[in-house]
Structure 1
Amino acid sequence: MQNETARFETITWEKKGEIGLLTFNRPERYNAISYQLMDEVAAVLDSLKYDTDCRVLVLTGAGKAFCSGTDLKEQRQFEGNIKDRAPQLFDSQKRLSDLIVRFRQIPQPVIAAVNGVAAGGGMCFALASDVRIAGPNSRFIASFVNVGLSGGELGASYFLPRLVGMSRASELLLTGREVLAEEALQIGLVSRLTGEGEVLPVAFEMANLMLEKSALGLKMTKEILNTTLENDLEASLQVENRSQVLCVLSGTFEDAIKRFENRKNKK
């Protein structure tokens, strides 16, 4: 499959074979989330929902930051009468939170290659990903409470306790303190910590490992994980049972067994 590149103003979007690379590209603003960036990310995620050529999505940021959160300069345009601001603010919040839903709805596993600061909404983009890989200069900041807001923003109160436990999540959301790369690995916020300049290569290495699996297997695994987050054990088992039967009937199970046996016989 040939590589493809699409033109946007606040992000870059490339297909490198079966791997999609979405890069927040506002380095002069530490990749802060503008309205245009919201719309451009939404366009890419919507295109991926039924894209069978792109099988894994890697998410990263240009320059020294992953994503520093909402662009506060744009938010200041809502200054004025509270009654006038409320509908605009709600619309803005809904547009942004819908991106979190889109990250979970697309069938492709999402790998966040966190190369620098991931603050506010940027941290939430990482939390909504399936896997998080951190570079040595990465920092995670649930900064909402620091600017007078609730810590419950863009799924942070949903994802964070599931990743690091309720006690740590409560501390991070209530204090807004930063978590450096080493601590992020220790508490389970990220699964890998890389050396300088290695976060993207490691993300692609992991993506290629996923590509060795069947397309249906990857898709069903993500769907199962999404369902398990919300359902009890019996409901989760029902979804797992259905997925396993579908994978067997698709032929991918038998193909995988043959490949496994061939590798085993060569040893």
Structure 2
Amino acid sequence: MEEIILVERRDQVAIVTLNRPHRLNALTQDLVRAVSATLTSIAEDEDSSARAIVLTGAGRGFCAGLDLFARQALDADAPRPPAARFASQQRFARMVRVIRGLPIPIIAAVNGPAAGAGMALALACDIRVVDPGAALHPAALKIGLSAGECGLSYLLPRLVGSSRAFEILLTARPILAAEAVRIGLALEPEPGTSAVEAAVGIARRIAEHDAFAVKLSREVLWANLDAPFDVAIEVENRTQILAALSEAPGRARQAFLSRKQ
């Protein structure tokens, strides 16, 4: 059986690859669990030499967000009460909490589309590098859900400013690679270099420094961005479930699935 997440070591850098390329690495419950478990395992392994992590996706996509076909199959088995939906939402949000809580830096190598929770994964990382074909999509609003999910409403305003973040999230338009670089959301690799290779290069430069100093520096950088992150996440979780219980997501999801079949 093919692994849904791959780990490669390059000296002191761990490359973590989401491995569902046939679905643009869209997130299932199993992949969500694997992301959190893998990142935690790498960072907490006392025998590991990993000093930084690069997160990327297999094939032509970074992460297409929630796999709507997998969700449709799950919902078809039995209606899920609000408590079960909320637990699922919290599991998704836990991925970005895990990223934020890592004791080592993590760099997103965005090699293609990053939508919804996939965009949130990229934004939660300390640094982003984008290939020319990359695109960041805040997709939830297009299927009748809240634009705030997995930290997006917290992270994007702090990375690009509130006015631009409001415009992007409320129009649900994609941020293409060139714009992401222009507005300071991401870095671009040197010509002829992929986002993964560029991210590994940055990770290796970070690994040249004292591990404890890097850990403290990362902590203070995030801490000084201000508002309590956990509060923002919980507000998003509740908003998302309230939106999900309305009729709009069901209609929009069915329309999306019918176009893809």
TM class by shorter chain equals: 0.7 to 0.9
Match of 2:157 in 1: 161
> Where does structure 1 differ by over 3 angstroms across 4 or more consecutive aligned residues?
79-82, 193-197
- Residue of structure 1 aligned with 2:111, choices 108, 112, 115: 115
Letter in structure 1 aligned against 2:17: T
Match of 2:84 in 1: 88
Contact 1:135 1:196 in 2 (8 A): no
SS across alignment from 1:103: helix
Instruction: Flag the 1:169–1:79 CA change in 2: closer, same or farther, 3 A.
Output: farther
Distance in 2 (alpha carbons) for counterparts of 1:80 and 1:44: 29
SS across alignment from 2:184: coil
Give yes or no for the alignment of 1:32 onto 2:26: yes
Q: How many Å apart are 1:194 and its aligned residue? A: 4.6
Instruction: Flag the 1:195–1:101 CA change in 2: closer, same or farther, 3 A.
Output: same
Match of 1:144 in 2: 140
Distance in 2 (alpha carbons) for counterparts of 1:175 and 1:81: 33
Distance in 2 (alpha carbons) for counterparts of 1:36 and 1:104: 21
Contact 1:49 1:105 in 2 (8 A): no
The TM-score, its normalising length taken from structure 1, stands at 0.79
Q: How many Å apart are 1:106 and its aligned residue? A: 0.8
Contact 1:26 1:62 in 2 (8 A): yes
SS across alignment from 2:62: strand
Distance in 2 (alpha carbons) for counterparts of 1:16 and 1:156: 30
Instruction: Flag the 1:196–1:123 CA change in 2: closer, same or farther, 3 A.
Output: farther
Give yes or no for the alignment of 1:61 onto 2:60: no
Distance in 2 (alpha carbons) for counterparts of 1:79 and 1:219: 45
- Can you list the C-alpha shifts for 1:153-208, whole angstroms capped at 9, x where unaligned? 11000000000000010011101101111111111111334546521111111111
Considering Cα pairs closer than 8 Å and 6+ residues apart, tell me whether 1 or 2 has the greater RCO: 2
SS across alignment from 1:57: strand
Distance in 2 (alpha carbons) for counterparts of 1:196 and 1:138: 15
- Residue of structure 2 aligned with 1:78, choices 75, 78, 93: 75
Distance in 1 (alpha carbons) for counterparts of 2:193 and 2:22: 20
Letter in structure 2 aligned against 1:135: D
Q: How many Å apart are 1:231 and its aligned residue? A: 6.3
> Which runs of no fewer than 5 residues in structure 2 stay unpaired?
229-261
Instruction: Flag the 1:209–1:120 CA change in 2: closer, same or farther, 3 A.
Output: same
Distance in 2 (alpha carbons) for counterparts of 1:193 and 1:168: 24
SS across alignment from 1:111: strand
Q: How many Å apart are 1:116 and its aligned residue? A: 0.4
Letter in structure 1 aligned against 2:170: L
State the structure with more CA Rg: 1
Letter in structure 2 aligned against 1:170: F
> Which runs of no fewer than 5 residues in structure 1 stay unpaired?
1-6, 233-267
- Can you list the C-alpha shifts for 1:193-244, whole angstroms capped at 9, x where unaligned? 4546521111111111111111111111111112112369xxxxxxxxxxxx
Contact 2:135 2:175 in 1 (8 A): yes
SS across alignment from 1:66: coil
Q: How many Å apart are 1:8 and its aligned residue? A: 7.0
SS across alignment from 1:174: helix
The TM-score, its normalising length taken from structure 2, stands at 0.81
Instruction: Flag the 1:23–1:148 CA change in 2: closer, same or farther, 3 A.
Output: same
Contact 2:124 2:155 in 1 (8 A): yes
Name which of structure 1's ranges 156-165 and 49-58 shifts more when overlaid on structure 2.
49-58
Match of 1:257 in 2: none
SS across alignment from 1:60: strand
Distance in 2 (alpha carbons) for counterparts of 1:8 and 1:28: 12
Match of 2:3 in 1: 9
Q: How many Å apart are 1:87 and its aligned residue? A: 2.3
Q: How many residues align structurally? A: 225
Distance in 2 (alpha carbons) for counterparts of 1:173 and 1:196: 32
